[in-house]
Structure 1
Amino acid sequence: MPNPRKVVIVGAGLSGLVAGRELLDAGLDVCVLDKGRSVGGRLATRRIGDARLDHGAQFFTVRTPAFRRRVDDWLERGIVAVWNHGFDDDDGHPRYVGATGMNSIAKDLAVGLDVETSTLAFGVRPMEGVDAPHRWEVVIDDGTTRPADAVIFTCPLVQTFALLADIGVWKSGDEATDAAHDAIVERHGIHLDQQLFRTQYDRTIALLATVDGPTAIGAAGGVQHGDDVFSFIGDNQAKGISEAPAITFHANAEWSEAHWDDDSADTLAALEAAAQPWLGSAAIVERQLKTWRFATPRTIWPDPCWSTADGTIVVAGDAFAGPKVEGAHNSGLAAAHSLLA
C-alpha cells in the first residue's frame, strides 16, 4: 500500500498514543479517538483529596532497545522516575513510574496529537466509488464519520471484533449476503481470525484508599501477589506521586471474576476487610472502587500487531507484545511502522 495520508486510531491508551506520535512525527494526518474522558487507558491516575493514586498500570520495566530509547527520553525530560529496583530483592531492573502518576506518560505522548475524547467509535465501513477520497470511514455513535486511508485499532480485541464485524466479513448463511461479503473480502483483503479477535481478558477490581498514617506495606512501597486476594498493593506516597498517604489495592483475577457482579457496597466492604492486615495501625479515610473489565489478555499473540492483506486495517495493543506497559508501547510502534514501511 502507498503510504497513507490520513490515519484514524481507535483507542487513546499507550499503544494508540505511541502509534499516533510516530505517524505524526512522520508527517501523516492523524486523528485519535477514545470513548473515555481523557487519554491513557490503563495509564490512569486519580486524585482523592490531597492524594494522587495510580489505579491502572502501577509501574514498568525496560527489556527491549525500542522501549529503552523512549524511556531514556522520558527520563531526560523528567516525565518518568525510578521507583525502586525490586519489591523483594534488587533484580537489576528499575521499576519506573510516571513522575506525577502513570497518566502523565499518556499526556506527554498526546501533546500535539489530534485526540477526540468522549467519542465512541461505532463501526468502520469502506468508502465506495472511484471518486472516494479515502478508503475507510470510522462511524461515530452520533452518526458523524472520520475518513481515513488506514485505521489502527488499539482497544481490547473483543471491542475491535465488534467494530470490524460491521464491515460484513462474517458469513451469515444467506447466499446473496455472503456473496456481497466475499466481494468486500476480495476487494479489501479483510480476513479476520475469529480465534484472535475473541481473546478473553481477565478482570481487575481495585480499591483506592487514602489513609491517616504509615502502613505495614514495607520500605519498597509495593507488594506483588501478597495473599489470596490481592495481586498488587502499591503505596502511592512511597512511589513519589502523592503528598498524602494513599494505597492502591488490585484484587487478583480469580477474586475479581468471582465478585464482579456483586453489589458495589459489598465488594468495597470485602476489599476493606482483606486490606486490614496491610494497613497496620493506619485507618482508611476515604475509599473508592474501580473496575477494569479488560485488564489483562489471557492469550498473548506472537506478532507485535495484526493487519489486513492490504495493510489498511491494523490491530495493536497489549495482547500482541505482552500485557505490560512495554508490550503496549512496542505494539503501537509496530503498528505505526507497518503503515510507514
Structure 2
Amino acid sequence: MRVAIIGAGLTGLIAGRELVRGGADVVVFDKGRSPGGRLATRRIGGATLDHGAQFFTARSPAFAAQVDDWKECGLVHVWNQGFNGTDGHPRYVATNGMNSLAKDLAVDLDVQCSTMVFAIRDEPDVNGITVVIDDGTAHTVDAVIVTCPLPQAFALMIDGGIELDETLFRTDYDRTVGLLVRLDGPAAIPASGGIQDPDEIFSFIGDNASKGVSTEPAVTFHANPTWSEAHWDDENDTLVDQLTAAAQPWLGDASILEHSLKKWRLATPRSIWPDPCWTTANGRIVLAGDAFAGPKIEGAHNSGLAAAHTLLD
C-alpha cells in the first residue's frame, strides 16, 4: 500500500511510523523546513525556547507506551506534577526541546520538507489518489492521510472530486500570539516553572530554563485566544511593546536581551470531532490531527495511530 501523508507534525509522523511498521510504503510531505509542526523549538542567542507545545501528560495507554520509550532514550523527563498543585499526572517536557521528538520520529521515514502540496484529487481515470505539489509534480498513491488544520485540508480537496462533510470543515480555530524572550537573569515565575491563565492577556507562561531546555534564562509567553484575536492585525512592533509591558510582573529584576514574536493563525480548534479521525466513503482519504483527538500532544499522537490503523485494517 502506497500512502502519502500531508503534514510532518506529530500526527503525521506517528501515522507514518505505524504504517511503515504495517508494511506500507509511506512518504510524508511538509511545507516547513523541518518536521515538527507545533513541536517547535528555536534558539535566540544562547537560549533555547519551545514556542509551540510546552508540555504534555500521558493519560491513555497508547501514549503512555510512547512516553515510556522516550524516557528510556532520555528524550523526555518530568518537569513538574502540576502548576496549581498535583493531579497525579506528571507534566513531561522534551530534554532538548519539543522539536527533538519530531526529529526522533522522523528517523527512517521518507519526509520531504519544504514541499508544498497544492491539491489532492480522486480522479476516476487514475488508479489511486493524486497528490499534486506546487511545482507541478504529481504522486499517485493508494491512500492519503491529511493532518494539517481543517481549513487547509478543505482547500486542498475542494476541487478534487472528493465528497466532503461540510459539518467537519466548519470548525473554527483560535489564534495565538506568542512572545519569546531571552533574559539577563532568572525570571520571577513560581517554582513549578509554568503559569496557566495568570491574567487577562496570557494563557500560558513557561520558563524554559526551569524545564531544562535552555541553559540561559528564557521565557515563552502565549497570549490567550481573546487577546490574540483582538490584536492579530496590530503591527508587530506594537504587539511586542504590548506583550513586553504585560510580561513585566513575571520578569522580576531581569531585563529582556533579545525577543522574537510568533503568530499561530490556526492554533487551536474550538470544537473537537467525536472520532479520532475521519475517512471518506471509499476509505482512500483519512483526516486526522488536533481537531479529532484533542489539541494536545497526546491527542495528536492518538489521532495519528487511529488514522494509520484505519488504513491498515
TM range (shorter): over 0.9
- Alignment: residue pair count: 313
Q: TM-score, normalised by structure 2?
A: 0.98
Partner of 1:179 in structure 2? Answer: none
Partner of 1:138 in structure 2? Answer: 131
Partner of 1:315 in structure 2? Answer: 287
Partner of 2:307 in structure 1? Answer: 335
Equivalent of 1:9, from 5, 11, 23?
A: 5
* AA aligned opposite 1:150: A
Q: Is the 8 A contact 2:129 2:142 kept in 1?
A: yes
Alignment partner of 1:241 is 2:221 = no
Call closer, same or farther: CA 1:75–1:233 in 2, change over 3 Å: same
Partner of 1:149 in structure 2? Answer: 142
Partner of 1:172 in structure 2? Answer: none
| Structure 1: distance between partners of 2:271 and 2:86 | 29
| Structure 2: distance between partners of 1:88 and 1:198 | 35
Q: How does 1:154-233 map to 2 (within 5 A)?
A: 154-168=147-161, 190-233=162-205
Partner of 1:300 in structure 2? Answer: 272
Q: Report the 3-state secondary structure (helix = DSSP H, G, I; strand = E; otherwise coil) of the residue aligned with 2:239.
A: helix
Q: Report the 3-state secondary structure (helix = DSSP H, G, I; strand = E; otherwise coil) of the residue aligned with 2:26.
A: strand
Between structure 1 and structure 2, the one with the greater Rg is 1
Cα offset, 1:128, TM superposition: 4.2
Equivalent of 2:77, from 58, 78, 81?
A: 81
Q: How does 1:239-278 map to 2 (within 5 A)?
A: 239-278=211-250
Cα offset, 1:79, TM superposition: 1.5
Q: How does 1:7-156 map to 2 (within 5 A)?
A: 7-129=3-125, 132=126, 134-156=127-149
Q: Report the 3-state secondary structure (helix = DSSP H, G, I; strand = E; otherwise coil) of the residue aligned with 2:79.
A: strand
Equivalent of 1:324, from 296, 303, 306?
A: 296
Q: Report the 3-state secondary structure (helix = DSSP H, G, I; strand = E; otherwise coil) of the residue aligned with 1:59.
A: coil
**Structure 2 residues not aligned, in runs of 5+:** none
Q: Is the 8 A contact 1:208 1:247 kept in 2?
A: yes
Instruction: Give runs of ≥4 in structure 1 deviating > 3 Å.
Output: none
| Structure 1: distance between partners of 2:187 and 2:280 | 51
| Structure 2: distance between partners of 1:256 and 1:59 | 21
Report percent identity of matched pairs: 66
Cα offset, 1:49, TM superposition: 1.1
Cα offset, 1:27, TM superposition: 1.7
Partner of 2:256 in structure 1? Answer: 284
- What is the root-mean-square deviation in Å for CA atoms of aligned residues? 1.0
